[in-house]
Amino acid sequence: MQLKINGKTLEVKDGCNIEALLQQLGLKADRVAVERNRNIVMRSDFDTTVLQNNDQIEIVNFVGGG
């Protein structure tokens, strides 16, 4: 299935959850925040949130800022 992640299209396995998605992307779950279709997904729900085809995902992390 296809996801839209941070504006880019990505192919992932059907039934993929957010934890698996972060692993596929090489991201640490404890350093990011994730929105699915504009709703924040709490970290404790990463492994139980199963993604659907065409989900819009935003993944943010901290960068330098004043």
Partner 1 sequence: MDKLIIAGRTFRSRLMVGTGKFSSNAAMAAALHASDCEIVTVALRRVDIDNPQDDMLSHIDPKRHLLLPNTSGARDAEEAVRLARLARAAGCEPWIKLEVTPDPYYLLPDPIETLKAAIILVKEGFVVLPYINADPVLAKHLQEAGCATVMPLGAPIGTNRGIRTRDNIAIIIEQAIVPVVVDAGLGAPSHAAEAMEMGADAVLVNTALAVAADPAAMAAAFAKGVQAGREAFLAGLGKQRLHAHASSPLTGFLRNEA
Binding site for partner 1 (CB under 8 A): 5-8, 10, 25-28, 30-35, 40-43, 58-66
Minimum gap (Å) between residue 15 Cβ and partner 1 = 20
Minimum gap (Å) between residue 58 Cβ and partner 1 = 7
In our burial notation (b when 16+ CB lie closer than 10 A, e otherwise), range 26-65 reads eeeeeebebebeeeebeeeebeebebeeebebbeeeeeee
Minimum gap (Å) between residue 23 Cβ and partner 1 = 12
Nearer to partner 1, 53 or 59 (CB): 59
